[in-house]
Amino acid sequence: MSSLELRGITVRYGRFTAVENVDLLVPEGTVTGLVGGSGSGKSTLGRAVVGLAPTQSGRVLVDGTEVARRRGRSPVQLVFQNSYASLDPRMTVGASVAEALSGGAPGRRAPARERRAARDAEVARYLELVGIDPARGARTPDALSGGQRQRVALARALAARPAVLIADEITSALDVSVQGAVLNLLRRLQRELGFAMLFISHNLAVVRYLCDQVAVMDGGQLVERGPTGRVLEHPEHPVTRDLISCVPDLALAEEAS
């Protein structure tokens, strides 16, 4: 198990500061929900962690060791909101997952046929892990449903064997029934594999279901954080209260408490 720690992360686009001096700890084996309104900076922060946003300053640490900002395999993997855009439409889904594999036996000196068989077995294992029939590995993304593509994107991220997973609004584009299936899958995998996860969402009901703690962003800054139950039932910051007021069930729960 591993932890993720952000220290003083600042992201600027020209003169515009999208994220300002954010400190955040995602303890090992837990899920932290990152919430906020549109334009609050939550997705930008997630992208900054994996080097996809122009970080002006700050450090990203996994288990206390700074993550190198260079090309190559990273202990932090990001699953995007738009699974179709994140998968190469020219590649089969099996090839997409194989591209992310972190390696292992047999080594490079093994016969090509043996290496190919081992790779195919690993691809099949990760597809099965996310509930996709390995036979679908020969298909391209356009032949799959939105929920299936999101499962493939998750399989590809897990194939890199990350210490930390960042999930950025991964169910927001899915039908409600499919959302539930993907969330249940994500919850099960997180518990079984034990990775830390930063779950970025605007849906507080989903965050309450999935997350151990919540961090609230507004204007590029963290304005409140704490255990999920405490933050959602006894919010201290006006922004958090405004977010809760937009979700009837959560608002009623707050009033009842």
pLDDT of residue 250: 64
User: 4: helix, coil or strand?
Assistant: strand
The answer on pLDDT for 253 being more than 80 is no
Give me the residue label for tokens 């962003």: 217
pLDDT of residue 112: 80
pLDDT of residue 136: 94
Of 197, 245, 237, the residue nearest 217 (C-alpha): 237
Of 167, 172, 214, the residue nearest 187 (C-alpha): 167
pLDDT tens column, 123-136: 999 999 999 999 99
Of 227, 203, 197, 205, the residue nearest 36 (C-alpha): 203
pLDDT tens column, 133-165: 999 999 999 999 988 999 999 999 999 999 999
pLDDT tens column, 5-34: 999 999 999 999 999 999 999 999 999 999
The whole-number average pLDDT for the span 213-218 is 98
pLDDT tens column, 173-182: 777 778 888 8
Q: Which domains does the chain have, with CATH numbers?
A: 1-75+165-257 (3.40.50.300), 91-161 (no CATH)
Range in 33-37, 43-47, 229-233, 253-257 with the lowest mean pLDDT: 253-257
Share of the chain above pLDDT 90, in %: 70
pLDDT of residue 177: 77
- Predicted TM-score of the model (pTM): 0.89
The answer on pLDDT for 105 being more than 70 is no
Q: Which residues in 18-36 are b (16+ Cβ under 10 Å) and which e?
A: bbbebebbbeebbbbbbbb
pLDDT tens column, 81-98: 888 778 899 999 999 999
Single-letter code of the amino acid located at 174? L
Of 91, 248, 251, 78, the residue nearest 154 (C-alpha): 78
Please, are residues 87 and 96 in contact by the beta-carbon 8 Å criterion? Answer: yes
The answer on pLDDT for 200 being more than 60 is yes
